[in-house]
Chain A
């Protein structure tokens, strides 16, 4: 196995740990308030001003109609410009809790589905490698791809006052899909090469060859998707800007992880089996 994989694999693990630590620290510092009312329950009021100054966002646990009108009036006098309500969210705590638990359930079911699907698809590789190894490698790469954007988005959320809304669940799941596709494309090539040249070359070197063969495709696909996302980031509305950012990080990470996480894992796995 080439040293480069060892180095990058170690580096990735370090990066994942850092991202996880950042997420935990920010979560504690903000007491979970980087999550929007979608998840926590609570009230959000956004008002715009007649003179075009940036919108104000007010968050409270509860807000009565009278209180809301008072706030709008106060803001109007304070900034000497007529304030109008443009958004008002009032989410009950059960609804928020439900969104959280449903999202987590969806994630877990999805991960299990992916491992099983990959085990079925790659069953023909069982002579060389346990079919579960591929699924597990893909899922570990995936966790890396979810944790890194999570760390970055926590920072962005905390320092730029961006809220983590329900849309980010969609972002996480998209990253998940992309990351798995990327890994699957590499593994598909590995399978093909194992059949063609499996007797001539060592397994790690077959994996390396497969990575090199799929590299152009991986990069081109990432580039086309990134082009689309960068366009959304710069030209899309405020509400999907950070959604696009999370995806940009996740997709770069997804391409990287299929090469430097999923692939080294199956190289290790195979090696372990041989020494037994």
Chain B
């Protein structure tokens, strides 16, 4: 009775998950760049100048800023993550202009207000201490009197105070606004400005550059300088081709293995094919839920875990046959088959799982994806061979089948 409930639960669960796998809208499969086409960028942060600040905070800051800049670019589901101590990985799927993306990510808009110095420095602008870090937000606006486009800056409290002091002592003199070390405009201060609002306008500012500048200022400045150290771009067509071919290969592989199992192991083989189908359904559902990014190497890991799942079944059936040959009844043979095969299944699964774990911890990117799918696959394979195959095989352990031992 208990085994029947289990069987019904497995079947219902499999149907539910199968439906879930089939749905493209909810939890879609996440495909890697090698299948989708896109760019994989690795940036290295220069942490030599951070002083007391923790490296982790600095890199999280870099990630946040890059994330905001990438979002401006309008790529669907960009991946921006910190890796190791000083790396940030950026993955942009299906973009056409990689160079624009790279320049957008790498630019550090450094905004600075300068005033005319005193003494020997009176011929040049000197920093005032008011910089982009005092910026709260910025937006594009049109000057009401001249009609020219400008970038409006809203300063935070500290910035507003500083700006007030700077404007107060510079009435009648110019204050220069520098961006990335270049002067953008140098308006003459007319009165003290205390509201914390400033404006950048000038010859170089067009509606397009103003919008770009406002966006970049809003995205904020990078806390530390970054350098692009690796760039990999895969064309979308190449990715599509790989995906189609891999899926086709996977399907043929499944059919061929199923055929082999049924021909060689007959009834248990058939039970294992059902168990393996359920296994595939479960694994795919896990890929969607976590979600696991599927790359070519990841798919290879999946196919290999499938091989391991088949192996577990083969081990059990080989034992089952031995026991039947030794003259045991069906029930005894099935029980013994599972019991004796368990040690081998456990040891081979544990070694593979250890392998996947070591890989996951010690490697990066491609190999890591492989380790993840392999690890998930091996865990599920244990479940599928021990619970699912057994539940289905128990159906056949009926006195009536004693007469049809050749089926086993």
Q: Give A residues with C-beta under 8 Å from B.
A: 38, 46, 48, 65, 84-92, 94-95, 98-99, 102-103, 105-106, 109-110, 113-114, 117, 121, 165-167, 169-171, 173-174, 176-177, 180-181, 184-185, 188-189, 192, 213-214, 216-217, 220-221, 223-225, 227-229, 231-232, 234-240, 243-244, 247
Contact = CB atoms under 8 A, between A and B. Distances in A.
- The residue in B44, B238, B355 that gathers the most chain A C-beta atoms within 10 A of its C-beta is B355
B336 interface: no
Contacts of A237: 241-242, 245-246, 296
Given A86-B235, A174-B304, A228 B352 contact: no
CB-based closest 8 A-B pairs: A86-B235, A181-B348, A92-B229, A228-B253, A231-B253, A237-B242, A106-B362, A235-B249
Nearest to B259: A227
Contact of B310 (A85, A165, A224): A224
- The residue in B299, B344, B371 that gathers the most chain A C-beta atoms within 10 A of its C-beta is B344
Nearest to A38: B366
B358 A110 contact: yes
B145 interface: no
- The residue in A65, A92, A114, A220 that gathers the most chain B C-beta atoms within 10 A of its C-beta is A220
Nearest to B322: A213
B100 to A, nearest CB: 12
Contacts, number: 206
Nearest to A234: B249
Interface residues of B, number: 67
Interface string B165-200: 000000000000000000000000000000000000
B399 to A, nearest CB: 28
A184 B366 contact: no
A85 to B, nearest CB: 7
B337 to A, nearest CB: 12
Interface string B297-319: 10111011011101100110010
Contacts of A184: 344, 347-348, 351
Interface in B272-314: 296-297, 299-301, 303-304, 306-308, 310-311, 314
Interface of B: 34, 42, 44, 98-99, 229-235, 237-238, 241-242, 245-246, 248-250, 252-254, 256-257, 260-261, 264, 296-297, 299-301, 303-304, 306-308, 310-311, 314-315, 318, 322, 340, 343-344, 347-348, 350-352, 354-356, 358-359, 362-367, 370-371, 374
B354 A227 contact: no
A110 B361 CA distance: 11
A170 B297 contact: yes
A159 B44 CA distance: 36
22 contacts: A89-B231, A90-B232, A98-B364, A106-B363, A166-B366, A167-B366, A170-B359, A170-B370, A177-B356, A180-B351, A181-B308, A181-B348, A184-B348, A185-B347, A221-B315, A224-B257, A224-B261, A231-B252, A234-B249, A237-B246, A240-B246, A243-B300
A98 B84 CA distance: 12
Contact of A87 (B238, B245, B261, B351): B238
Contacts of B355: 110, 114, 173, 176-177, 180
Given A224-B261, A232-B253, A102 B352 contact: no
B271 to A, nearest CB: 15
A239 B243 CA distance: 10
A95 B42 contact: yes
Contacts of A239: 34, 242, 296
A225 B354 contact: no
Nearest to A182: B348
B306 A228 contact: yes
A117 B353 CA distance: 12
B326 to A, nearest CB: 12
B257 A106 contact: no
B234 A227 contact: no
Given A217-B315, A235-B249, A173 B260 contact: no
A167 B365 CA distance: 10
- The residue in A180, A214, A247 that gathers the most chain B C-beta atoms within 10 A of its C-beta is A180
Contacts of B242: 237-240
A223 B260 CA distance: 9
B352 A177 contact: yes
Contacts of A167: 296-297, 300, 366, 370
Given A95-B42, A232-B303, A185 B246 contact: no
A77 B248 CA distance: 36
A109 to B, nearest CB: 5
A85 B252 contact: no
B296 A235 contact: no
A188 B346 CA distance: 10
A224 B314 contact: yes
Given A117-B351, A185-B348, A220 B364 contact: no
A175 to B, nearest CB: 10
A177 B367 contact: no
Contact of A173 (B42, B261, B311, B359): B359
A166 B261 contact: no
Nearest to B255: A231
A48 B235 contact: yes
Given A86-B237, A180-B352, A224-B311, 6 more contacts: A113-B358, A117-B354, A224-B314, A228-B256, A228-B257, A231-B249
A227 B264 contact: no
Contacts of A213: 322
A224 B354 contact: no
Contacts of A117: 350-351, 354
B405 to A, nearest CB: 18
Contacts of A171: 300
B362 A102 contact: yes
Contacts of A227: 253, 256-257, 260
Contacts of A90: 230-232
Contacts of B306: 228
A247 B374 CA distance: 15
Contacts of A84: 235
A166 B365 contact: yes
